[in-house]
């Protein structure tokens, strides 16, 4: 399905189109929509606070002089989505078009793997197709997702522009030390964060939350945190483990409720 073109005041997309490594999606559309639904239900996704634009002077190129924040003009998503009464018997395979370009997906993949790298037996974010889920998220025609669409795409443009300003190359063309030098400046919004990085730090935090939530919605992510869910137990229920009882009793003692402690055999 053809994706809508993105009209930007920046030259960012052209840069990453030329140099970003290819990201390969292995998810079916049905599977990516399932992960989107799980992501939407995740408690890990509080609304992005404090990321509303702050009026600053624009340069002739359309960027802001204080932060070079990109002024993107995105074509609106006009798909209707599933609606309040979706067809559960024969749901549509592709209710809306995906909007990230292959180059943008590759940049998301690189950033996702910085956030969740491969570690031991745990795969990286891109290995479990997190960028595809992010594409579904920012392409969905719902208000929260559309707010995130502008935030995430602006963050991608900012990161690529920052790389070009610092190192004369787009982010995906940089070496790992140069990439991490940029990420270190925007990774967290705290007292040490320079004023010029406050806005991008908030946007990057939103991307990080989406990446982490999407990762831990996948089977591999669920396994990584050791979540088992409801597991049937044959026979008589043995009750909590001694470790669980000890933890509960310690908590009760801290609350001054030792009289209600459970005996541990």
Question: Do 192 and 262 belong together in one domain?
Answer: no
Question: Do 247 and 187 belong together in one domain?
Answer: no
Question: Do 251 and 213 belong together in one domain?
Answer: no
How far apart CA 157 and CA 147 sit, in angstroms, is 16
183: in domain: yes
For residue 125, give the nearest of 100, 108, 138, 101 by alpha carbon: 108
2: in domain: no
Paired tokens of 138: 């920012």
pLDDT at 39 over 80: no
pLDDT at 206 over 60: yes
pTM to 2 decimals?
0.70
Question: Do 236 and 218 belong together in one domain?
Answer: no
pLDDT at 55 over 50: no
1: in domain: no
Phi-psi region of 168 (alpha: psi -120 to 50; beta: other; left: phi over 0): left
Question: Do 73 and 200 belong together in one domain?
Answer: yes
Question: Do 149 and 265 belong together in one domain?
Answer: no
The three-state secondary structure class of 58 is strand
Distances from the Cα of 203 to the Cα of 41, 62, 153, 157, angstroms: 21, 19, 9, 11
Chain CA centroid to CA 136, Å = 11
Condensed to tens digits (0 to 9), the pLDDT of residues 67-117 reads: 688 888 888 777 777 666 655 565 556 678 888 998 899 999 999 999 999
* Number of structural domains found in the chain: 2
Chain CA centroid to CA 20, Å = 19
User: For residue 196, what are the domain limits?
Assistant: 7-224
Question: Do 131 and 239 belong together in one domain?
Answer: no
207: in domain: yes
């Amino acid at each position: 399905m053809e994706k809508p073109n993105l009209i930007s005041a920046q030259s960012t997309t052209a840069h990453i189109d030329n140099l970003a490594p290819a990201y390969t999606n292995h998810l079916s559309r049905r599977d990516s929509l399932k992960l989107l639904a799980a992501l939407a239900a995740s408690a890990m996704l509080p609304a992005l606070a404090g990321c509303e634009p702050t009026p600053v002077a624009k340069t002739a190129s359309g960027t802001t002089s204080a932060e070079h924040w990109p002024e993107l003009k995105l074509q609106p998503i006009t798909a209707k989505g599933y609606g309040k009464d979706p067809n559960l018997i024969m749901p549509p395979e592709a209710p809306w078009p995906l909007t990230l370009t292959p180059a943008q997906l590759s940049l998301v993949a690189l950033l996702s793997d910085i956030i969740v790298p491969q570690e031991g037996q745990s795969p990286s974010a891109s290995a479990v197709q997190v960028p595809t889920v992010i594409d579904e998220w920012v392409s969905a025609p719902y208000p929260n997702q559309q707010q995130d669409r502008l935030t995430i795409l602006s963050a991608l443009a900012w990161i690529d522009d920052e790389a070009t300003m610092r190192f004369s190359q787009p982010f995906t063309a940089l070496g790992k030390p140069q990439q991490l030098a940029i990420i270190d400046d925007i990774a967290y919004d705290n007292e040490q964060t320079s004023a010029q990085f406050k806005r991008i730090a908030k946007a990057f935090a939103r991307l990080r939350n989406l990446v982490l939530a999407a990762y831990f919605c996948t089977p591999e992510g669920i396994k990584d945190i050791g979540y088992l869910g409801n597991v049937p137990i044959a026979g008589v229920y043995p009750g909590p483990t001694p470790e669980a009882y000890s933890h509960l009793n310690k908590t009760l003692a801290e609350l001054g409720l030792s009289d209600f402690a459970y005996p541990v055999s």
